[in-house]
Amino acid sequence: MGARVVSQFIAVLVDGVVYASWLFIIAVGLTLIYGVMKILNIAHGSLYALGAFSAVSLSAAWFSQGYAAMGSFAMLALAAVLVGLVFGPLIERGLLQFLYGKDEVVLVLVTYALFLILEDFIKLVWGVDPLFVQGPNGETPYGLLGNFEVAGLTYPNYNLLLLGVAVLTGLVLTWSLNSTRSGKLLLAVIHDREVSAALGINVSRTYFVTFTIGAFLAAVGGALTAPTVSVVTGMGAEVIVMAFAVVVIGGLGSLPGAALGALIVGMVRAAAVHYAPEVELFSIYFVMAAVLIARPKGLFSGAEVRKI
Amino acid sequence: MKRIGGALGAAVVACSLLAMGMPAQAQQKTSVKVGFVTFLSGPAAGPFGVPAKMAAEAIVESLNAGKGPAPYQIKGFGGLPIELVVADEAGGATKQVAEFRTLVQRQEVDMVIGYIGSGDCLAIAPVAEELKKLTVLFDCGTPRVFEEASYKYVFRTRAHATMDAVAATMYLLDNRPAVKRISGINQNYAYGQDSWNDFEASIKAMKPGVEIVTSQMPKFGAGQYGSEVSALLASNSDVIHSSLWGGDLEAFMLQAQPRDLFRKSVLVLVAGEPYLHRLPGKIPDGTIVGARGTNGVFAPDSPHKRWLMEIYKAKAGVDPNYPAFSVAQAFLGVKAAWEKATAKKIGSAIPMGAAKNVKEEMEKAYAPPTQDELIAAFENSTFDSPSGKVKMGLGKGHQAVMGTAYGTTRFENGVVKVGNIKYYDAERVTPPEGISSLDWIKSGFRKSK
């Protein structure tokens, strides 16, 4: 009995960490863009979906050539890079740059409109039939890496890849922001856009680079999710809600906040699934509500500077 | 100027008189406009919605050409061509209610055939009643539609989902009588909850003492099932019941298969049939699958089945799955009722010699049936379909009753085949009128109220 309780607890921890890794990957781009640009980018969900659909197409092309299945991982990475490099600049230069300085609510509506347009774009290009990242013999990157066992439960090593990508993303972003020249310039822009511009920082380029990185991170989330699901239209809508919950819990625009938010949501959901599945649906939003009651601006919100 | 005005006025009056003089021709029905609602986007589109749409198009083309199997050889509905107005079911119940109003009030359809989602059916039925528009639910499963309300304008031409649970239990206990521990994973909405509750109650009624270890209820469209798979693995269950469908089922299978969930647990997929050709290699051997009736691979051979197989394959390039069979049932049910109503009118028309106004009486007799006449003919009707005979035997004659079947999968030469098929008569697996499904199961499947 005691052993069962312990193994169940370990399972909750592992499931929580795996889910948190996935959540962090999909949420970190959203919080980065908000932190720098003060745009709550609803189209983040579409960029995630575009990453997944592109991963399907590139993997299908890879498998159709008869190449080694392991190479499909490269296709997932390529999909994320392509979506980031094509759609990030396109959206930022083609649309958002004309709207800086507008009210945050207007920008939410604009990115929501963009989300709807991109959803239809996806339908136009890929159709409505669910797609898989799958080789001719049913092999998927999800199962290719083998399994590991914890507390008598089997987990795919693919989950370790997710964890690795999440940790690496967090570390690289933290290091870049705090220890590089560009990062410090970015922090200056975050603190005060006008003063930064007056000091000669190219704010426009900072926004451009930030949005492209945010788009790339959304696409990474989509590409890494694609082998584990059937890739369908509308998948971005589900994800944006979860990502939003994570960044709100952590504090909009906060990198450590996104990490902690993802970990809290992941753990709470895993605990609900194992101990009280009937409340799983409600658990995440309960946590979100509880955090917002205690700290209306999220766990990691700092003191706000108000200009007079 | 005055003369021109006078001439114009005369022309207007003449035109008005002309228009008034030919009401019979102008208003005569030239087609039957059918609003058809199915998922065209989202996770339910691929395995359900799009096959349903293709089936509807193939069926309408065939019926309009008068190429239906006997007794459906009259063109369209009673000679009138069927015109489809297709709408997307995606977006949730609130959006669907608005879309339904648009179909009825703006598009002025003669009837609506549609709805795969149980939540949509529960939301649409009262609105159909309010707008007094004939609405045929073709695929949704929740028994609550007619168990919790009574409708005049709403019909469902497929059996409700209770039989899925009851027959699955019978099949499971017939083939694995030693089962001791059972778990479930079902979507947290009307159909998923009903499906699990019926199955759990059936197991408890038929084999008391079986332990229900865990019931996972992820939200519709959750996508990530890592924790749920862990909970199911940890449950050490002999059997896992699931009514997951669409992208949710596909994601669950993709995530569960590499983790060896099905090595020690038998999977029961009550709505698994549409995935047999979509997930080859991912459906483990020994999975118990149903098609929510004698549809798809379970349909017995008949001219109606051969007709559907032929026209669907010509359109889609693959064999029809069970949603396509459900669509056929809806269209053939309406057609049978339409032509029955017309025949009744002609049969009860005053004989020519006895009529005072022969022309008017004949026009009336041969006119398309009114909605009320159609509904009267539809209620309690029985008609042939590609899945077998359908009897509108529940819900005061508005809810179809049919038998069902289950089988077991095995992977052979790159395709999933279904063997060990067993059929269950409607009477054994469907509650009688006047008792809710859950009460009927809990009562030990008593025959009547």
Which residues are registered as beta bridge partners of B266?
Answer: B239
Residues B383 and B414 in one domain: no
CB contact under 8 A, A277 and B215: yes
For A5, nearest residue in chain B (alpha carbons): B234
Q: Is B347 contained in some domain? A: yes
Q: Is B66 contained in some domain? A: yes
Residues B374 and B290 in one domain: no
Q: Is A80 contained in some domain? A: yes
CB contact under 8 A, B46 and A129: yes
Phi and psi at A102, nearest 5°, equal -75, 165
Q: Is A44 contained in some domain? A: yes
Q: Is B447 contained in some domain? A: no
The owner of tokens 């053939």 is B332
Question: pLDDT higher for B114 or A237?
Answer: B114
Give the model confidence (pLDDT) of A34-89 as tens digits: 988 889 999 999 999 999 999 999 999 999 998 888 899 999 999 999 999 999 99
Quickly state the pLDDT bin for A307 (edges 50, 70, 90). Answer: low
Residues of B within 8 A of A153 (CB-CB) are 230, 233-234, 259
Give the model confidence (pLDDT) of B47-97 as tens digits: 789 999 999 999 999 999 999 999 999 999 999 999 999 999 988 899 999
Question: pLDDT higher for A304 or B243?
Answer: B243
Residues B185 and B263 in one domain: yes
Burial of A66 (0-12, 13-18, 19+ CB in 10 A): exposed
Where in the sequence is the domain holding B247, given as residue range(s)?
162-298+403-442
Residues B195 and B237 in one domain: yes
Residues of B within 8 A of A149 (CB-CB) are none
Name the residue among B217, B233, B278 with its Cβ closest to that of A153. B233
Q: Is A6 contained in some domain? A: no
Distance from CA of A36 to the nearest CA of B (A): 30
pLDDT of residue B189: 84
How many other CB atoms are there within 10 angstroms of residue B439's CB atom? 14
Residues B396 and B408 in one domain: no
Looking up residue B36, the CATH number of its domain turns out to be 3.40.50.2300
Residues 41-70 of A with CB under 8 A from B: none
Residues of A within 8 A of B228 (CB-CB) are 273, 277
Tell me how far apart the terminal alpha carbons of chain A are, to the nearest angstrom: 63
Name the residue among B41, B230, B233 with its Cβ closest to that of A123. B41
Number of domains in chain B: 2
Give the model confidence (pLDDT) of A87-139 as tens digits: 999 999 999 999 988 888 999 999 999 999 999 999 899 987 788 888 887 78
Residues B274 and B418 in one domain: yes
pLDDT of residue B351: 63
Residues B154 and B169 in one domain: no
Number of domains in chain A: 1
What global pTM score does this model have?
0.84
CB B267 within 8 A of CB B287: yes
pLDDT of residue A100: 86
Residues B291 and B412 in one domain: yes
Q: Is A162 contained in some domain? A: yes
Residues B139 and B264 in one domain: no
CB B394 within 8 A of CB B146: yes
Residues of B within 8 A of A143 (CB-CB) are 257-258
Residues B322 and B382 in one domain: yes
Residues of A within 8 A of B216 (CB-CB) are 273, 277, 280
Where in the sequence is the domain holding A210, given as residue range(s)?
27-236
Residues 134-193 of A with CB under 8 A from B: 137-138, 140, 142-143, 147, 152-156, 159
CA distances from A215 to A29, A42, A86, A237, B218 (A): 7, 11, 9, 16, 29
Residues B189 and B235 in one domain: yes
Q: Is B244 contained in some domain? A: yes
pLDDT higher than 60, residue B12: no
Handedness of CA A236, A241, A245, A247 (dihedral sign): positive
**What ipTM is given for this predicted complex?**
0.89
Q: Is B18 contained in some domain? A: no
Give the model confidence (pLDDT) of B394-432 as tens digits: 999 999 999 999 999 998 887 888 999 999 999 899 998
The number of helix segments (H) and strand segments (E) in chain A equals 12, 2
Question: pLDDT higher for B142 or B311?
Answer: B311
Q: Is A243 contained in some domain? A: no
Residues B140 and B232 in one domain: no
